Structure 1
């Protein structure tokens, strides 16, 4: 039996969250020849909100071409993209330890936004949603930031932290969607999947 849903994401958190919803899914990942990172280039003057939605839609387009190119059975495709922003600045995945420490120092003692866009492509068309959450970090010492960076957890994560891991101790307040901050807002995702006529 084909999957009820294709997930075009390498994130184990997104897989866990879909499983939590009870949605059967298969991964539809990029081929070695695809330049997935190129999709995440920020355009000049682009706002974080516009950026995250554009990148998510591009990922969906690429995943649809991938499914067709591989001759896979037709089923809805889900893509998601998460961006952390402080003011108008997008904090992507840290390039190295120094970059991670810089981002965390900027976030310490402030409130930032976590934007997660979701796109579902199906025979009924493309549907989009955007989850916006506000996260407040307590003040953090340089030593605390150094220990967290040394744990390796910040790497590969927007804003250099994962809320479901050790960074939870830095979070003083959340206003929004916890699952959205993790990378897949379940309320919005469930709504889009039902609109795509997916039964779960």
Structure 2
């Protein structure tokens, strides 16, 4: 698919770059410099608010482009699980997720010279009981350290999931099927 505007992904995530490359032939990667720590919002709107802030930040530098801002959050009950601060934090998060169902929500904000649009996608994931040894080995691998919820579903943590209800790619960081649909509905894709 080709877009009507030059596309800029406002994220430095290699996972999002790989996912977006599945549906777009060309795009630029320009990570947002927006300071997420300044933002406070409830888990129901946080992903959308952060996605918008990131997209607007990058759009200010690329005003003739279509900018895609994204943010993915993990919510267990009413508790937001961000990226772990350290290995102890990662162990604690994985321990809380063990044997429970949680939600992963990605907010996506699109902004282009003549418009803007946002959407959210939520996926429910059930984790089996994870043994302390499995948690320790997983944390020692380093994989969970830069991931919301302290896990990468496309990596070793796929072994922890017993059920995924919704879009798998959403859990990785970008719901590409939904993004393709939105591009077409908004007439942002070239025929």
The answer to whether the superposition gives a TM-score over 0.5 is yes
Contact kept in structure 2, 1:120 and 1:193, CA below 8 Å = no
Report the equivalent of 1:53: 48
State the distance in 2 between where 1:29 and 1:142 align.
36
SS at match of 2:36: helix
Report the equivalent of 1:71: none
Q: Which runs of 5+ in 2 are unaligned?
A: none
Contact kept in structure 1, 2:66 and 2:112, CA below 8 Å = yes
Taking structure 2 as the reference length, the TM-score comes to 0.91
Contact kept in structure 2, 1:136 and 1:174, CA below 8 Å = yes
Report the equivalent of 2:111: 121
**Deviating more after overlay: 186-195 vs 126-135:** 186-195
Residue 135 and residue 99 in structure 1: after superposition, are their counterparts in 2 closer, same or farther (change >3 A)? same
Shift of 1:192: 2.8
Q: Which runs of 5+ in 1 are unaligned?
A: 69-73
Contact kept in structure 1, 2:121 and 2:170, CA below 8 Å = yes
Residue 182 and residue 120 in structure 1: after superposition, are their counterparts in 2 closer, same or farther (change >3 A)? same
Report the equivalent of 2:18: 16
Contact kept in structure 2, 1:120 and 1:192, CA below 8 Å = no
Deviations 1:120-161 (A, max 9, x none): 111231110100110000001111000000000001110000
Determine if the alignment matches structure 1 residue 199 to structure 2 residue 190.
Answer: yes
Report the equivalent of 2:73: 83
What is the number of residues matched between the two proteins?
Answer: 187
Shift of 1:40: 4.3
Determine if the alignment matches structure 1 residue 26 to structure 2 residue 21.
Answer: no
Determine if the alignment matches structure 1 residue 62 to structure 2 residue 57.
Answer: yes
Report the equivalent of 1:39: 36
The 4+ residue runs of structure 1 with deviation greater than 6 A are none
State the distance in 1 between where 2:103 and 2:96 align.
13
SS at match of 2:95: helix
State the distance in 1 between where 2:30 and 2:60 align.
11
State the distance in 2 between where 1:29 and 1:169 align.
31
SS at match of 1:94: coil
Report the equivalent of 1:139: 129
Shift of 1:173: 0.4
State the distance in 2 between where 1:42 and 1:96 align.
21
State the distance in 1 between where 2:132 and 2:39 align.
29
State the distance in 2 between where 1:129 and 1:23 align.
22
Contact kept in structure 1, 2:59 and 2:65, CA below 8 Å = no
